[in-house]
Structure 1
Amino acid sequence: MNDGIHAGNAPKAVGHYPHARRVGDLLFLSGIGPRDPADNSIPGNEYFADGRLRKYDIEAQVRAVLANVRAVLDASGARWDDLVDVTVYLTDMARDFKAYNAIWAEHFPDAANAPCRTTVGITALPTPIAIELKCVAAFGSRP
């Protein structure tokens, strides 16, 4: 098993773990959120003066999380087309699924060749984000 992969252009991990780990031809990405790698801010979040979250922009967060996944894939030597399975965690399925699904379709326009996907509604994530992705890629899975 190879050492963990830390992508310099992806947000730092929230805990003590790598961005990804390669095992043979498989690449397992740790959960990745939409935080900005430059300053750790969360795109589209607006806060009250006391620091509580006032509102968020799911579209901004979806675009950011997909960019962060791509950054980890690139740092790992994998390609976007190598993604084979994605688990998506949304904190508000009823509110956010439609917008998330539309942006997903922009990034994977050919559903037959998109990665498999499971979307789960959850109550919270470790930081004030509305989406997190857990991905598996297979090197050389596409011509």
Structure 2
Amino acid sequence: MARRDAIFPEGRQALYEINKYSAAIRSGDLLFVSGQVGSDAEGQPVQGFRAQVEQAFTNLGSVLAAAGAGFDDIVDVTTFHTDPERQFFPDVQEVRLKHFGDAPYPNWTAVGVNWLAGFDFEIKVIARLPAAG
């Protein structure tokens, strides 16, 4: 079995070491990004739902950039919400459209959950990495 090609955003490796997982794994031309939450540099939740969503997207952007990718390379999205009926519109919708721009949009699955370790929103994605060169 090939060794995992782990990707880490600059400055946040310690958080992944503490929790024993990778920010993302590259497999061929695909990038599987672990769930990103609205955490600050120390791993603590930022205050307010909208702020958590914006920070989760910022953290996601950092992981994508570390792999040489961006939001346009995302093909599949899964989000987790502690109160999906109240949380998806308008906060998540506005933030996601700011990052994904115009159609065609990536696939999207939103899942309601009852626990996110002190967070209210999490986003994980699969991206196709741009060709090198």
TM tier, smaller? 0.7 to 0.9
Q: Structure 2: any 5+ residue segments left out of the alignment?
A: none
- Compare the two structures and name the one with the higher helix fraction: 2
Give me the whole-angstrom Cα distance separating, in 2, the residues matched to 1:115 and 1:124.
Answer: 25
Shift >3 Å, 4+ stretches: none
Q: Does 2:111 match 1:120? A: yes
- Secondary structure at the counterpart of residue 140 of structure 1: coil
> Residue 80 of structure 2 contacts residue 122 of structure 2 at CA under 8 Å; is this kept in 1?
yes
Matched positions, count: 126
Instruction: Say if 1:117 and 1:131 are closer, same or farther in 2 by CA, change over 3 A.
Output: same
Give me the whole-angstrom Cα distance separating, in 1, the residues matched to 2:97 and 2:12.
Answer: 23
Percent identity reads 35
Q: Structure 1: any 5+ residue segments left out of the alignment?
A: 45-56
What's the CA shift for 1:10? 4.2
TM-score, with structure 2 as normaliser: 0.85
> Residue 86 of structure 1 contacts residue 117 of structure 1 at CA under 8 Å; is this kept in 2?
yes
> Larger radius of gyration, structure 1 or 2?
1
Residue in structure 2 matching 1:25, options 23, 29, 34: 29
> Residue 33 of structure 1 contacts residue 129 of structure 1 at CA under 8 Å; is this kept in 2?
yes
CA RMSD between the two structures: 1.8
TM-score, with structure 1 as normaliser: 0.79
Residue in structure 1 matching 2:82, options 82, 85, 91: 91
What's the CA shift for 1:102? 2.1
